[in-house]
Amino acid sequence: MAERGGRGSGGHGSLDKSITLPPDEIFRNLENAKRFAIDIGGSLTKLAYYSTVQHKVARVRSFDHSGKDIENEPLYEISVQEEITARLHFIKFENTYIETCLDFIKDHLVNTETKVIKATGGGAYKFKDLIEKKLGLKVDKEDVMTCLIKGCNFVLRNIPHEVFAYQKDSDTEFRFQMNHPNIFPYLLVNIGSGVSIVKVETEDKFEWIGGSSIGGGTFWGLGALLTKTKKFDELLQLASKGQHTNVDMLVKDVYGGAYQTLGLSGNLIASSFGKSTTADKEFSKEDMAKSLLHMISNDIGQLACLYAKLHNLDKIYFGGFFIRGHPVTMRTITYSINFFSKGEVQALFLRHEGYLGAIGAFLKGAEQDNPNQYSWGENYAGSSGLMSTSPDVYPMQRTRSGTFDMLEMDRLERPLVNLPLLKDPSTYIPDTVDLTDDAMARKYWLTCFEEALDGVAKRAAASQPDSIDALERAEKFRQKYWNKLQTLRQQPFAYGTLTVRSLLDTREHCLNEFNFPDPYSKVKQKENGIALKCFQSVIESLDSLGWEERQFALVKGLLAGNVFDWGAKAVSDVLESEPQFGFEEAKSKLQERPWLEDSYSQWLERLKEGPPHKCALIFADNSGIDIILGVFPFVRELLSRGTEVILACNSGPALNDVTYSESLIVTERIAAMDPVIQSALREEKLLLVQTGSSSPCLDLSRLDKGLAVLVRERKTDLVIIEGMGRAIHTNYYAALKCESLKLAVIKNSWLADRLGGKIFSVIFKYEVPCK
């Protein structure tokens, strides 16, 4: 395949047919692959398999300090261990490559337990013998529609920005929607050669409620007859250049110029092809293709609306090869739905629409592994992302043919659920700024991430001084993330709504991809050790203050701690160059009150006048000074007031954010020094939990189930969110059912400027839900 796989029906030039990536980068982790599924459509094949990925994770382990000199030992031991996680691979390619691909798979398939391949799609029958011969697996056919719906439910549940509306004439071509916590019921309109309209009510309950024979096959078949153009994509190309008004009879053609008197738009089509009712006129291919496209799109939209009305449904997802990423058809369908529903229903599309059948077939075959029991997350490092095929969006983009598109889903260790305290889970949007929408902010942040990349790569390499290939891997990481950033510059919608969070998460995924599970582990270890040594003196000085003074000092300490953020370039530069930069220096950097966002007085009033909170949930940010000298004294004060505290830290590493396992060790150390913390731990008034996340940001709709249970059990009535990533980039506008504190120091001058402040401006947002 390296010598170019294009021996199918060519005609398109060899360039299109070349495989753009080496096969081992396409069919990844084949060695451990099992549970194959394949969906063969009219022109594209989608392959799915389950595999396990062995990758390195950073572990921290407390030393046994008995009889040792604590002073000169590191706080804890860091080890890198191998961990095996489950990953789903989905690969989409043109049918012409099927034989080459099967050969490659056969050569690399080590797992001999696999006996069966699940197959679906119209082409499954045609290629049955080939697959059985090549792979030596028995082909087990699954119902197309069942697979489609299973796949659809899966992506709706597991990919937050799966659904989008198409808006051609706006700045953002794709408008993503947060998934509604309740995905059912919905209407799936699958436009293949014909149209199937399926009502989906629950995971297992769906019903074919109707259909139409006028679909993609009609466009293709009738289009080929009318224009002598053979290929579907070429027909769409023709259509996008045509003028349908030369072929269609419009209302104004029937009414003359007087249609205004009717309240009808004269441009409405009265009769499709109504002007071609003559034998002696020639019509251009483009015009006929355009007219045909409108006729079919309008008809499908009309029927979809009629069915939606009859069944009282307002979510309509469109899929099938007629839609599959084609801006032309998404546009006409969107128009039609808007027209026939009078704007009441929005046509919705799915980012992974092409994979639904393969995902569903795979799930059918994997039922014994219970994949629906887990939460899954899209791996940005290994997924190609959505590509617009609109030529005016990105002229340099890869062509549709000759490319391999990939989707990888990682099984998450823990099931994720909504924070029960969200005011309205169905309207919650974690991210504060939509970079797909905000071109200026997008430009800034992409550049910002580009500029920080060399430093991140350097730190990654430095974090593994004993590894001989660390430099090489760091370079690969740099290249990969750089490419992602370039893709996102051209196609900001590739992975759903582009946000600072998604940029950060993508970087984490890329780091993990090249086995840099925790580049800041050493930094964190050192900083935790240093901060612990200062803990007692900080507590003593706090305890010497009067009540009101102390409250302010606690908040200031929390904010100063938050300055220690290796993710912020302004800070990391300081930390690199001034090793003595400490807690007091950080305090002096802080903006004086009144802060940029300042409801401290209300907070103080609340502490003074109100009863103690029942239970506070705190989302911690950084390791070291932040958690130890900022958060813990604050926690201690809450505990002293009789408020229980749930301290939530990330499950996996991200930047220098404190992880759950680090927080366990740190807490243990603090407890050894501090009786308040110690007794709170013993009496389970201080609880440490993990968030389920490995992101420097915070998505309150995807949190560890254990955390959610605890929050409910303890009747949590205060949520404290700390740090730029969690309280500004995300959740700045998040509305909760209970009181909340969002606090952060703005360590980025551009962002500060945007919010109307300067670098090191303070956000202190105390919110009480309106009754």
Partner 1 sequence: MEPLRNGGGAEEKPRRRGAAADAGPQRRRSSAAAGVDSATGPQPHERGGSASRQRRDSVRKNRPLFPWFGLDIGGTLVKLVYFEPKDITAEEEEEEVENLKSIRKYLTSNVAYGSTGIRDVHLELKDLTLCGRKGNLHFIRFPTHDMPAFIQMGSEKHFSSLHTTLCATGGGAYKFEQDFRTMGDLQLCKLDELDCLIKGVLYIDSVGFNGHSECYYFENPTDAERCQKLPFNLENPYPLLLVNIGSGVSILAVYSKENYKRVTGTSLGGGTFFGLCCLLTGCSTFEEALEMASHGDSTKVDKLVRDIYGGDYERFGLPGWAVASSFGNMMSKEKRESVSKEDLAKATLITITNNIGSIARMCALNENINRVVFVGNFLRINTISMRLLAYALDYWSKGQLKALFLEHEGYFGAVGALLELLDSA
Sign of CA dihedral 232, 234, 235, 240: positive
Sign of CA dihedral 317, 322, 324, 326: negative
The one among 28, 35, 150, 244 contacting partner 1 by CB under 8 A = 244
Least distance to partner 1 from the beta carbon of 280, Å? 8
The one among 56, 294, 326, 507 contacting partner 1 by CB under 8 A = 294
The reply to whether 335 sits near partner 1 by the rule CB under 8 A is: yes
Helix, strand, coil percent values for the chain (each to nearest 5): 45, 20, 35
Interface residues for partner 1 in 128-147 (CB under 8 A)? 143, 145-146
**Total binding residues toward partner 1, as defined by CB under 8 A:** 80
Interface residues for partner 1 in 386-425 (CB under 8 A)? none
Nearer to partner 1, 203 or 767 (CB): 203
Nearer to partner 1, 144 or 523 (CB): 144
Interface residues for partner 1 in 41-60 (CB under 8 A)? 42
Q: DSSP letters of 38-64?
A: EEE-SSEEEEEEEEEEEEEEEEEEE--
The one among 12, 59, 106, 309 contacting partner 1 by CB under 8 A = 309
Nearer to partner 1, 169 or 466 (CB): 169
The order of strands in the sheet holding 376-378 is 138-141, 116-120, 34-40, 44-62, 76-94, 405-411, 376-378
Phi, psi dihedral angles at 693 (to 5 degrees):
-115, 160
The one among 267, 486, 544, 602 contacting partner 1 by CB under 8 A = 267
The one among 11, 22, 67, 263 contacting partner 1 by CB under 8 A = 263
Interface residues for partner 1 in 59-118 (CB under 8 A)? none
Nearer to partner 1, 74 or 221 (CB): 221
Cis peptide before 185 (omega within 30 of 0): yes
The one among 251, 452, 462, 530 contacting partner 1 by CB under 8 A = 251
Burial of 671 (0-12, 13-18, 19+ CB in 10 A): middle
Nearer to partner 1, 101 or 247 (CB): 247
The one among 57, 306, 429, 735 contacting partner 1 by CB under 8 A = 306
The one among 184, 255, 394, 444 contacting partner 1 by CB under 8 A = 255
Q: Residue 268: which residues within 8 A CB-CB, separation 6 or more?
A: 250, 251
Least distance to partner 1 from the beta carbon of 295, Å? 6
The reply to whether 273 sits near partner 1 by the rule CB under 8 A is: yes
Interface residues for partner 1 in 681-720 (CB under 8 A)? none
Q: List alpha helices for 352-431, DSSP H.
A: 356-365
The one among 154, 259, 493, 516 contacting partner 1 by CB under 8 A = 259
The reply to whether 172 sits near partner 1 by the rule CB under 8 A is: no
The reply to whether 465 sits near partner 1 by the rule CB under 8 A is: no
Least distance to partner 1 from the beta carbon of 117, Å? 21
Stretch that binds partner 1, among 22-30, 334-342, 346-354, 458-466 (CB under 8 A): 334-342
Burial of 537 (0-12, 13-18, 19+ CB in 10 A): exposed
Q: Which residues pair with 349 in a beta bridge?
A: 164, 318
The reply to whether 220 sits near partner 1 by the rule CB under 8 A is: yes
Using CA atoms, how far apart are residues 416 and 216, in angstroms rounded to an integer?
Answer: 38
The one among 32, 85, 111, 193 contacting partner 1 by CB under 8 A = 193
User: Which among 119, 153, 99, 148 is positioned nearest to 49, based on CA atoms?
Assistant: 119
The Cα angle at residue 620 between residues 618 and 626, in degrees rounded to 5: 125
Buried b (16+ CB within 10 A) or exposed e, 727-744: bbbbbbebebebbbbbbb
Nearer to partner 1, 254 or 545 (CB): 254
CB atoms within 10 A of CB 380: 23
The β-bridge relationship of strands 644-649 and 686-690 is: parallel
Least distance to partner 1 from the beta carbon of 214, Å? 5
The one among 21, 225, 439, 545 contacting partner 1 by CB under 8 A = 225
Element (H, E) at 576: helix 569-577
